[in-house]
Structure 1
Amino acid sequence: MRGRDTYAGVWHDDGHRQLGLSRGGPIAVQAVERGFLTLVPATRGLAKEASLPDLKGRHGKRPCRAQLMHALIAGRTAVGERVWDIQRLLDWVLKRSDVDPSRVIMTGNSGGGVLTVHTAAIDDRITVAVPSCSFTSFTSETGYIFHCDCCLIPRVQSELGDFSDIGGLIAPRALLAVNGKKDTLHYFSDVEKAMAHVSKIYRATGDTHPFKHEWGEEGHQFYPEIMWPFIKKWTQK
């Protein structure tokens, strides 16, 4: 989909279209209406077009878990494959003459938000990252795992750190983390603690302004009314 201006936007959804998009979206259409060149990737293990069949229901009829199992036996991770896919899309879109490489935005809700954090953490071509209802610690203080298995990485806490440490790698680029007050998948106190850690990382760069954390009033969904003002601020020239 294409708008009028020379912006690039990689807009990612996690496959949970009824849960994540319909209440606060469609975000991609809103992006086009605002003049963004917009990509909506078909995500491995989540979009029907890019999923492995779960033959005989071995993985609970969950294509995302089927992708994870196939990735693991090949020595990869599901989220790693998805990050690779996004990077190849960036390779392609940034060759276009009508794309401004200084204004590349990525967002996603739920698993799409997890992918947004991982991609922006290792690829500085993402200039504005907006993870929605996804960015918190990997586990609660009592050990509860917040994210789906297809979003996890073996040995991540012992060798790389918390999810907030990974998200901190986005600094000093613009990062807006949005969570829902009624989102029962994530705990308020753990989200607040993780976001305080990210803020500390941004302070270490000398500028906290590019980082912002906001709470939406509802549940597990996009919050356009929070996202768009931040995106506008950090893409204006």
Structure 2
Amino acid sequence: MIEKYYCVMGKLAETYNLEARKYKLKARNKEELNKWKKELKSKLKELLGIKNIEKNDLKPKVIEIEELEGYRREKVILETETNVFMPMYVLIPSDLRKGEKRPCIIAAHGHGCAAKDSTAGRIEIPAVKKSIDQYNCDYGLKLVKEGYIVFCNDARGFGERREWMNQGDSEEDLIKNSCNAINNAAISLGKTLLGMMVWDLIRIVDYIETLDYCDEKNIGCIGFSGGGLQAIWLAALEGRIKAAYVSGYFHSFKDALMKTNFCGCNFVPGLWKVIEMGDLGALVSPKALLIESGTKDPLNGERGMVDVQEQFGITKTAYSILNTENKLYHHIFDGVHVFNGGKMRGFFKEYLK
């Protein structure tokens, strides 16, 4: 029996303490904040590898249409970069009138769910029903029933985009992902999985602008867990997003990513030297931003809500500078790692009109 282990994570934490947050929020007024935001956005796009991705023609193809109770579900394939294809569902309310434009919401999925099938609420698939029962992650379906046009995509490495080592049709296979394999390859090429995920969501925004029934001035995003990761990054880097609902993903990189969140989609080379989570939230300002946190969510890290509140305080500083504190919310509920959605309806009703 081994009585002592010689580990390295403690040393990495020391390195973090010495080198972290070179771009931390220090602004004291609007001019300093705007300058910081401009410089930081450019730096983050560089770290994510987004600057290395070339824009191309989306070449959208609608390959399936189903009329369901209260809405239509279209399956669409987009070519988000050359020879990279992304399947997604577009959920369209049945009461959409000819010539009418509706607000749109991009619904990013997290881990442990069966990708777009879960956000779109396809409970006829056993693995999907199981994930929805566990995480309440069918928020795409809930939102189309509120009258929004909703876009539910497969993130890279999930659903129909799983790589060869994770493919298959069993219940277990359907919730697998290829995050680590993709990110390990990507970082050696100057790219990151997170950057590619965010790029794909930006291309959905591009697609929205081509649809005559979409109100391109009223675009929101939502996500739980890994979907919350994608949603906050999209809101921070994409100017066309008006409101973001981030659930189950708002905690410091240090407390959580060294302890709990080890999936490759979280890890960007050099990111910790630049910002913390609260700085990323500050970059979203002055857009409407709602952070949703479960008090017993283990992914918050060992300090729990203390850590979450610290990061929220950093974000709040930016909103205070811009006098837009009324557009920043922290919905705290008594629960574990699950999508709560208690403020979802009111939040989007207020900011997507």
TM-score (norm 2): 0.61
Q: 1:213 matched to which residue of 2?
A: 330
User: In structure 2, the residue corresponding to 1:157 is in which secondary structure?
Assistant: helix
Structure 1 distance, partners of 2:257, 2:106, is: 35
Structure 1, residues 201-233: CA drift from partner, whole Å, max 9, x if none?
110112211111111222111112222211211
Q: Does the 8 Å contact 1:128/1:173 carry over to 2?
A: yes
1:37 aligns with 2:149: yes
1:77 aligns with 2:161: no
Q: What does 1:1-237 correspond to in 2, within 5 Å?
A: 1-3=91-93, 4=96, 6-17=102-113, 21-22=132-133, 23-45=135-157, 47-54=158-165, 63-140=178-255, 144=259, 146=261, 148-158=263-273, 160-186=274-300, 187-236=304-353
User: In structure 1, the residue corresponding to 2:200 is in which secondary structure?
Assistant: helix
Q: Sequence identity, in percent?
A: 24
Larger Rg: 2
Cα shift at 1:15: 3.8
**Alignment CA distance shift 1:227-1:106 (3 Å):** same
Structure 1, residues 32-81: CA drift from partner, whole Å, max 9, x if none?
10111111110112x221122238xxxxx851111111211221011000
TM-score (norm 1): 0.89
Cα shift at 1:141: 9.5
Q: Aligned AA for 2:333?
A: G
**Alignment CA distance shift 1:142-1:70 (3 Å):** closer
Q: Aligned AA for 1:8?
A: C
**Alignment CA distance shift 1:42-1:143 (3 Å):** closer
**Greater alpha carbon shift after TM alignment, 191-200 vs 143-152:** 143-152
Count of matched residue positions in the alignment of Structure 1 and Structure 2: 229
Q: 2:67 matched to which residue of 1?
A: none
Cα shift at 1:136: 1.7
**Alignment CA distance shift 1:16-1:6 (3 Å):** same
The answer for unaligned runs of 5 or more in structure 2 is: 1-90, 114-127, 167-175
User: In structure 1, the residue corresponding to 2:330 is in which secondary structure?
Assistant: strand
Structure 1, residues 140-182: CA drift from partner, whole Å, max 9, x if none?
2996464633222111121x21121112111000000001112
Structure 2 distance, partners of 1:222, 1:147, is: 20
Structure 1, residues 5-41: CA drift from partner, whole Å, max 9, x if none?
6111111112422686434341111111011111111
Q: Does the 8 Å contact 2:208/2:216 carry over to 1?
A: no
User: In structure 1, the residue corresponding to 2:348 is in which secondary structure?
Assistant: helix
Q: Does the 8 Å contact 2:162/2:177 carry over to 1?
A: no
**Alignment CA distance shift 1:165-1:94 (3 Å):** same
Q: 2:26 matched to which residue of 1?
A: none
- Considering fraction of residues, name the structure with more strand: 2
Q: 2:44 matched to which residue of 1?
A: none
